[in-house]
Structure 1
Amino acid sequence: MTTVDVEPLELPARLTSPPRLTQRHPWLLPAAMAAHRARRRTQWVRDAWSGRVVWASHRASADLPVRLKQHGSLLLRELAADQMHLQRNKVTNLRLAAQRIDGIVIAPGETFSFNRVVGNCTRRKGYVDGMKLSNGEAEAGVGGGICQIANLVHWMVLHSPMTVVERSEHSFDPFPDKGRVLPWGVGCSIVYNYVDLVVRNDTDRPFQLRTWVGERYLHGQLRTDERPTRSYKVEARGEQFLRRDGQVYRRNQIWRRVIDRRTGVQVGEELMKSNCALVVYEPGPGVEVIDVD
């Protein structure tokens, strides 16, 4: 470990605020979740009646002609033996969620809501106990693991001109980077129905999501009917592990570079997200942890 001058570590409020009431009294959690869900349902109805939001719901079986982005996400991570059954169950949950998303077309002016399209993941619908993250710890929960498909959709959308309206990240970094393909910090947290991934199509072209589960990978494609004049490169910058008061934090920034397809020249860039999370594992060899005040 080293001590160097670095930019001050400013922790987000979610990591510094006192424990929530439901953390101090877990028995209150079901009532709190019911209240959150009721507020979100009311918001959905209000938005629909006002005409402010048109929700994407049309599903097309035929592919739109242009494949804008595709990605494959490994289904099973190498975790402790007592957690692998949750990983296998996760595949069942991902298959059900992928079937709900596959073929959805986000027309011009429409908004895609992950929770509205996938719905509540219940046992009645065939969902099983998979791995969920709660306060940085893995635990069993019905529908656990569907965050992986939200991560996939978010990653593909970042490579398009669509607008991310709502996205919640995890407050914790739960696993080391072994086998990581996507930058840390582009994932999503999903809790039906009030922690959501919401994307709006402000362009004049339709976009289509294709998602399916293969033998080893969760697959996704983002398609459209006409190739845009610009492409996008998403990258992490300023990656750091910082130790303060005995706890390790990870931070970075997610940037998106805008490329002119015709010339290959970068025509712009934008900061998409600044991330900071509590690391709940001990960083291994080769990971520099900087001590800060």
Structure 2
Amino acid sequence: MTGPVTGKLRVNGASLHYEVRGQGPLLLLIPGGSGGAASFDAVAGALAEHYTVATYDPRGMARSTLDDPEAEQRVAEHAGDALRLLDLLSPGEPARVFGASSGAIVSLHLLTAHPSRVERVVAHEPPVVEVLPDAAEHRALIARVRETFEKEGAMPAMAVFAAGLRKDGAEGAAPAPPAQTQLPPQAAARAEQTMAGLPYFVGRIVPAFMSYAPDVDRLAALSDRLVLACGQDSRGELPYRPAAYLAGRFGAELVHFPGGHIGLTTHPAEFGELLLKTLRA
């Protein structure tokens, strides 16, 4: 199978690296974390048998450079980047969109701000903690992450963040060492890129994105186009709760994908198969 066609797209304050595979209706994949477009490498080929699959490195990550490296990040601007890609690759035709984690937050804003451009959104564990009844507790977590980042750096801040996401929420506990999680070789090879993007992710994306409050009434009105999804192993963890809360509020099914928050990485074949079914439902 041939590799993706790559391109660069100038957007406000940044240059986006994007990749396109396959043919058919457009499916835009929005990555979370610091993995960028490469986080979809294990599933994009299978999806491209049915769709024109586009993904990209979000602004400031990997090959997508910022004009001002110190620029503050906003969900609305990241959603604007996704819109520009839709306009480039699917002009005049609504597209299907999948977003994971912080990318799922972007997909929610894209849906509410530009519903005519989106046919269906699958949002996997968007950590929109502002919708939760105990949002104040999670604001305190983000404040601790920010303070730790400023005083001690990215890795200690990531440890605080990871601990706050887990079931027990034990503050300050370090995340499990990578060796305890068996990843496919292709995923393991991306570790260097992921680590390189960690300071930007934990310092800029986490505080801005987890402070974002979606328009819940607007999402409810558009819920026929929205699929809220979680990892089947994520129950009780913080990233699971907002999607579960919103699904309950909208009277919608919560679709459970294989694995946990990073099921896309740990169970790529099964994840991609269910994503295809979900997009067609």
TM > 0.5 fold call: no
By percentage of residues, which structure has more helix? 2
| Larger RCO of the pair (alpha carbons < 8 Å, separation 6+) | 1
By percentage of residues, which structure has more strand? 1
Normalising to structure 1: TM-score of the pair?
Answer: 0.27
Higher CA-based Rg = 1
Normalising to structure 2: TM-score of the pair?
Answer: 0.27
